[in-house]
Amino acid sequence: MTQPAPLMPHATASWLIDTTALSFEQIAEFCGLHILEVQAMADDLASSKYTGRDPVRAGELTMAEIEKGQADPDYRLKMFKAPVNVNRTKGPRYTPVSKRQDKPDGIAWILRHHPEISDAQIGKLIGTTRTTIAAIRDRSHWNIANINPKDPVTLGLCSQRELDSIVAKAAKRAGIEDDGQDAIRLGDDREALIEELRAERDATVRAAGEAAQEAEAAAWLEAKRAAEAAGE
């Protein structure tokens, strides 16, 4: 069974290189790194410089184990205590920095179109706080003048499935029956958009055809004038 790597492999390798006489192979194997990475760190050729991390103080390795490795280059270091994995605690979902400015617009859209959704559900869906939601609801938000309600799915703040799921749960809790009006409205909007795009495409084709005809007529007229001038 492969033993786990130290919590900070590169920093640990840097400490072992500077502090011990272990071989590159031993350090690479213990830290779960490629031997060329270890060699580059030893030669100061690595692109990043790491501050050494003492695995003995961290409880991952003992000095006795290091001494065994120094005495025998073929000895494989054994980890004394595996690092504890640090799991992210529950909280608002992560939103990329580029999309965080869109959160107020998405929140405002939900508050307008789905008032039955609770603040807790909005916070979990969008990744925001109840304070922000309340400020947008009572229009005390510092940037309320620039907030425009927009579909959070379109903004990329959540998926359509996530939004539909929360809407369904909130409607069930509030005793609201889905009459299908939202689906009909979305269908109508989609058809209208398709028709608009078709009209724009047809107009572009017609304009291109007319421009080609005008260019052809202009070229014919120019050729005719040139021929008449040559005949004179």
More confident residue, 200 or 135: 135
Position 222 scores a pLDDT of 79
Looking at the chain, the whole-number percentage of residues with pLDDT higher than 90 is 33
Position 89 scores a pLDDT of 54
Domain count, the chain: 3
Looking at the chain, the whole-number percentage of residues with pLDDT higher than 70 is 80
Flag whether pLDDT at 5 surpasses 60.
yes
Rounded CA gap, 192 and 12, in Å?
61
Residue 127 DSSP symbol: I
* Domain-located, residue 15: yes
* Domain-located, residue 64: yes
* Domain-located, residue 229: yes
Please give the mean pLDDT across all residues of the chain.
81
Same domain, 123 and 161: yes
Last residue of some domain: 148, 174, 200? 174
Same domain, 105 and 167: yes
Flag whether pLDDT at 46 surpasses 60.
no
Flag whether pLDDT at 67 surpasses 90.
yes
Give the range with max mean pLDDT: 1-5, 49-53, 110-114: 110-114
Rounded CA gap, 10 and 222, in Å?
76
* Domain-located, residue 33: yes
* Domain-located, residue 84: no
Exposure of 147 by Cβ count < 10 A (0-12 exposed, 13-18 middle, 19+ buried)? middle
Residues 154, 190 contacting (CB under 8 angstroms)? no
More confident residue, 64 or 5: 64
Same domain, 194 and 170: no
Same domain, 170 and 109: yes
* Domain-located, residue 13: yes
pLDDT bracket for residue 155 (50, 70, 90): confident
Same domain, 18 and 62: yes
Flag whether pLDDT at 27 surpasses 80.
yes
Sequence-separated contacts (24+) of 175-181 with Cβ below 8 Å = 176/116
Position 203 scores a pLDDT of 73
Same domain, 156 and 131: yes
Question: What pLDDT digit, counting tens, does each position of 91-115 carry?
Answer: 556 656 556 788 999 999 999 999 9
Residues 60, 84 contacting (CB under 8 angstroms)? no
Rounded CA gap, 194 and 68, in Å?
74
Position 58 scores a pLDDT of 87
Indicate the angle between helix axes 35-42 and 24-31, nearest 10 degrees: 120
Question: What pLDDT digit, counting tens, does each position of 161-217 carry?
Answer: 888 889 888 888 877 655 555 555 555 555 665 676 677 777 777 777 777 777 777
Token duo for residue 20:
């011990």
Q: Which domain holds residue 225?
A: 184-232
Flag whether pLDDT at 119 surpasses 70.
yes
* Domain-located, residue 141: yes
Rounded CA gap, 31 and 16, in Å?
10
Same domain, 30 and 62: yes
Flag whether pLDDT at 9 surpasses 70.
yes
